[in-house]
Structure 1
């Protein structure tokens, strides 16, 4: 009897952890009721588990599956509940005379022999509880998490700037008047949750104006800001789920078009240094950015329908009672259907309508997006057609990338983008090759080589032309 009790006491903390982690448990009376427990050589705790079940009656199994799930983790609450059940059973046995003097003497001897170990464990538990209490007292918020990101961009033009003269296809090469430039942006996201299935986000953002850095290539991806490092509220929205398949978002600022969709499909969005990696089809002549609302509906495991509306704010905007939410001068709408898998194909079709200039001349954009994921290698692209009633334009992008090349977690990507444009100039385009290198958990370095061609066809506007750039972006996330 004493030898069996000794084995039970040694194994009971582990066994209790295995037995009380389920949510729909029921008491079992014999070990045979648990279909996943058998006296095999690899089941080292079978004897102790059998004793806890049949001698002390303080182990439960899953009610529906009749399983014990011995490898499942437990919480401290579940351990306390299980230990209490076993102690109650032992107390009952003692009161009922179920433990003989030899067994009681064994328990007392074990307590004395392991007094030092028990005291050490008690000290560790006390230290952990004190540390936990300190963390709770000093935590930022019980409902809010703080996340931040800082991007620094170093950009150097090289080669010669080509400026188009006249309306033909000839040009002249001139020395570039651009120099090495640096711009930075910082973001602090305050994410609050009140139900566990919702998020209230308030984002503070500051950035120095990029002064048209990489203007010939469509600008920088992570360089937004009002200039002079003024701190402003950027994202300001509340999102929440309804049931298992519906999610909604209501925003007061900075949410439009691609912010409503579950995925922009192409993997260049984020790693790319140039802004057209976005992809740019979501932004072309689209307005809004003030009050917004939208939602997503999951259709099975792989299909998602996203929809959203965004209106500009300010004068003639959603907060101007003369125009209101539906009559804002600048608006955008989006509907996107996506197929998102864990395998080869991610794809989407989208329709957008908006007027970025607030001139009531709306642009309709129809787009398709595709990503083929072959594991470490991917091929992706987009195609879109935009029409504002007076002009139309077909624009597209395509590229490829390799994951975990040179360094673990790194991404080498390259893409070409035919940029949307309604003017009479030659088709604007840009090309980028980038290498994202995660230095550690908090820092990613992304060098890139970029070529942009945004010719206007006149010498009077030297702000446009073609140019090569070398860029280096450092992203700190915490």
Structure 2
């Protein structure tokens, strides 16, 4: 359930504007009139030409003194009794909206019946004028809408004679109520509660034992092999949470200011088995990632403003833009009802910076093609401030870690979607060890890279190529898949060393069973290889393993109890974890309860 805040009634989001446009096709438009004054009293015949003569104005020609002119107050119309409530109601509408026209001698020129009929014509005129004002984003007061309702009831017969039937007026009044605009903020949120556990069939070898201890070497000085450790302990079962609170504010009905707050205390049990640089990835549900650099800390996750630059072009700017909202989407792998793990819900090589300071341009070319491009500098809520280079004068928006990305989306049919993505990224080394990788290391998604000899890096550049598809084969069966390839070029701090390149790829295939067991439910099976190093393994001080290739299978089932509550059991099987062939599998089980409001 969403709460709306506004002076009277507000449009909750831009989609309601589109709804208003489609609804307004059934409502007489002010644009059909030459101007508001064309609803003057001499044109009443055009409303109902087949009415008896006694309901028409005197049709004889008039002199110049009889020509119509705009008046600003009903009090100027002498034959309308000021003691009647209808007089006062119409007076207030005329004075506020200027929607009644009379003759220069200040009369309606009619008998009692004509006077009521003319009031009905005035009501119809005011409705049109108020509708025009709403289309121009001029606020119409709620009390005036109430007056329109009452007047429609009291002048029901006359409105029917005019051809503006009461049921049509009720529709138009409802239109005004639903689609008038004032600055509005919509509040919504999601809360995820997790019961999670992980275990292994034996000891697990992991690299990076000294990656974060600068006075100890990360490689064995005798053979240059990365130092590893053996994990024998099993993690305990945990209960954790993550909450997102969303504030969506619109100022015009077409724009949107998004502020999303996040707080959580997640730490996936599977993290205990992983090499350095794998944290919050393998075996971690997307909503179970740590919400901030410390648990239970409220942070701003998203902060951006979107607005239309043209009919088919949307622009987004902000200090914390979330690229997941615009790139690498897939109808079956959205973590809310699809595969939920960090590795399965999106590409593992997606972009170095997935949330940051920057801008997005989203161009809907036509119904089949959409082109989206963005540039963002690093500014992420779940990492320490040292990683946020976009707001650090030492680096600036262009000098630290950043990603420039473009995507072409093709709706080949109603059931088949294809996406082609390219990203160019610059990576600053981890401020705590001087290596590249970890949380902002894509397309080197896991582990850390050094200069090949344990030395630090000055920076790295990377190119990522990604293909993403989803296909609803039948109403109850869908296929999805991804393939990506990334190349990371390393520049050592020591100018005497030449550096090198790490090339890697990732693959995902799976299927979904929409509406299995209940409408809105979905079962999912995903198989993926999150990172297969094709060359440059010698630069990996963590994540290279012994040459093995880690793979994962995820099975989960999204079951909505109602529109606001769902439960999601899931199971992951991780084979050759940390890219060690010698490692046995890791098993992960989760039970998620999610609340949407």
Residues 23 and 388 of structure 1: CA distance in aligned 2, closer, same or farther (over 3 Å): same
* Conserved? CA contact 1:164–1:457, under 8 Å: no
Q: Give 3-state SS (helix, strand or coil) of 1:290's partner.
A: strand
Worse-matched range after superposition: 351-360 or 193-202: 351-360
* Conserved? CA contact 2:466–2:482, under 8 Å: yes
| 1:436 maps onto 2:503 in alignment | no
Residues 194 and 408 of structure 1: CA distance in aligned 2, closer, same or farther (over 3 Å): same
Deviations, residues 109-128 of structure 1 (Å, cap 9, x unaligned): xxxxxxxxxxxxxxxx9xxx
Stretches of structure 1 lacking an aligned partner (at least 5 in a row):
1-17, 33-55, 61-74, 93-124, 126-131, 133-140, 167-172
| Aligned CA-pair RMSD | 3.9
Corresponding residue for 2:408? 337
Corresponding residue for 1:354? 425
Corresponding residue for 1:467? 586
* Conserved? CA contact 1:395–1:420, under 8 Å: yes
Give the drift of 1:364.
Answer: 0.8
Corresponding residue for 1:385? 485
Deviations, residues 132-162 of structure 1 (Å, cap 9, x unaligned): 9xxxxxxxx9521111110011112256245
Corresponding residue for 1:415? 526
Give the drift of 1:218.
Answer: 4.1
1:64-463 alignment runs, 5 A limit: 143-158=184-199, 160-161=201-202, 163=204, 177-210=234-267, 213=270, 217-224=282-289, 225-226=291-292, 227-253=294-320, 255-261=321-327, 264-270=329-335, 271=337, 272-283=339-350, 286-287=352-353, 289-313=355-379, 314=385, 317-328=389-400, 330-340=401-411, 343-358=414-429, 360-373=459-472, 374-389=474-489, 390-420=501-531, 422=533, 423=537, 424-425=544-545, 426-453=548-575, 455-456=577-578
Residue-pair matches, total: 368
Residues 76 and 31 of structure 1: CA distance in aligned 2, closer, same or farther (over 3 Å): farther
Deviations, residues 386-444 of structure 1 (Å, cap 9, x unaligned): 11131211211000011111222110110101102545332222110110000111111
Give the drift of 1:289.
Answer: 3.4
Give the drift of 1:290.
Answer: 3.2
TM-score computed with the length of structure 1 as normaliser: 0.67
Q: Give 3-state SS (helix, strand or coil) of 1:415's partner.
A: strand
* Conserved? CA contact 1:334–1:353, under 8 Å: yes
CA distance in 2: counterparts of 1:370 and 1:288, whole angstroms: 20
CA distance in 2: counterparts of 1:266 and 1:219, whole angstroms: 21
CA distance in 2: counterparts of 1:332 and 1:346, whole angstroms: 24
Give the drift of 1:20.
Answer: 8.1
Give the drift of 1:458.
Answer: 7.0
Give the drift of 1:279.
Answer: 1.2
Residues 159 and 445 of structure 1: CA distance in aligned 2, closer, same or farther (over 3 Å): same
* Conserved? CA contact 1:258–1:282, under 8 Å: no
